[in-house]
Amino acid sequence: MPADVGTRSRWTRALHLKTLPLRAAAPAAGISSTRFRAVNTDGVVDITILGAGPTGLAAAYYAGHRDGTVRIVESLEQLGGQVAATYPEKHVYDVAGHPKILGSALVDLCVEQGLQYGAEVILGEEAKTLERVSQNGEELLALTTEKGGPYLSRALIVTAGHGAFEPRKLGVEGIDEWEGKGLHYVVRQKDVFRDKACVIVGGGDSALDWALGLQDTARTPIALVHRRDKFRALESSVNEAHKLASEGRVKIMTPCEVREVHGDGWIEGVSIENTETGEVERVDCEALITLLGFHSHLGAIADWGIALEGKRQLKVDPMTMETNLPLVYAAGDVAGYPNKITLITIGMGEAAIAANNAIAEIRGEKVQPKYSTD
């Protein structure tokens, strides 16, 4: 526990709350609705997990495995977090036990594992406030969202990535008008781009990955536009892109920037300027894929009084994953401590630490794992 936690009593707020009604949350696509059930007749669960990505689902598994009751609250309308939302058809290579796995397949496995103990799932609700309340003589955490609550629990684990996120956009006048008309910020389904002229903008791993990954789907050559001479991606991906360029399957345009989008109701082309020579070239384009990263922010979580590690992470004790607020934990990319490495595998391990420590603290027990082998 962090040294500056202070006493629990100073966080206590004596409020009288009515008993919460049972909530039937809408199931995600492909998941049996029987798994989405309220787990306690008075609306109180042991742990509320904020975020339903791989880390949040891992926390749900570990809490359930310790016979804890769990509620998951997710701002997106689907399970899987940013993996499901931004790269379901990309391969992930750094998850232990999986040399190579599609993002969507990883999410399916995490959902199967994480929900096996009957966690309640609430989708499409972004967290707003967190307070300490008293009910029936017990001190609880009360979470509210834009749409509902209060959701009562004995502990909270925040696994919401870097919080809310939105794509970085091209600095082109009127770019928002092309959303839904050929402008894309992520690649969710490759078939959307089948036989289309694609222009990919970006210089990082995502841009290179999709310049390579859409080779069997999109019309070639795929234009790859980056404002600098050098890419910020894996050397193997850059080398493969140059190889495909020599074969006429990728058109590398550097240092270049998109200056104008053309079309009548749908994108038909883009004007691209070479920033060194000033030369402008119009390129056919039916799908403009801008992979410039995301702006992220903690949103309302930043107002809860949790100490921060930098600007976008919640400071935790890495031994317990607890924040400066008692019984409020964090795991995954949103959790911060010195020399932190942000990987899915790391987040899963942190989820186990957070869940086991939360259960032990709730029950007044010694922290110890419950092994899962038969």
Q: Which domains does the chain have, with CATH numbers?
A: 8-165+294-363 (3.50.50.60), 169-290 (3.50.50.60)
Q: Are 64 and 39 in contact (CB under 8 A)?
A: no
Per-residue pLDDT for 137 more than 70? yes
Share of the chain above pLDDT 70, in %: 87
Q: What is the pTM of this model?
A: 0.70
294-310 tens-digit pLDDT: 776 788 999 999 999 99
Q: Which of 96-100, 152-156, 187-191, 312-316 has the lowest mean pLDDT?
A: 187-191
Lowest model confidence (mean pLDDT) among 167-171, 211-215, 355-359: 167-171
pLDDT digits (tens, 9 = 90+) for 173-222: 999 999 999 999 988 889 999 999 999 999 998 899 999 999 999 999 99
Cα dihedral sign for 26, 30, 32, 37?
negative
311 backbone dihedrals φ, ψ, rounded to 5°? -100, -20
Cβ–Cβ under 8 Å, residues 161 and 54: no
Give residue 72's pLDDT band: very low, low, confident or very high (50, 70, 90): very high
What mean pLDDT comes out for the span 16-43? 37
Please check the confidence at residue 147 and state whether its pLDDT lies above 80. Answer: yes
DSSP string across 214-259: TTTTSEEEEEEE-SSSS-BS-HHHHHHHHHHHHTTSEEEETTEEEE
Per-residue confidence (pLDDT) for residue 165, from 0 to 100:
65
Q: What is the pLDDT of residue 34?
A: 28
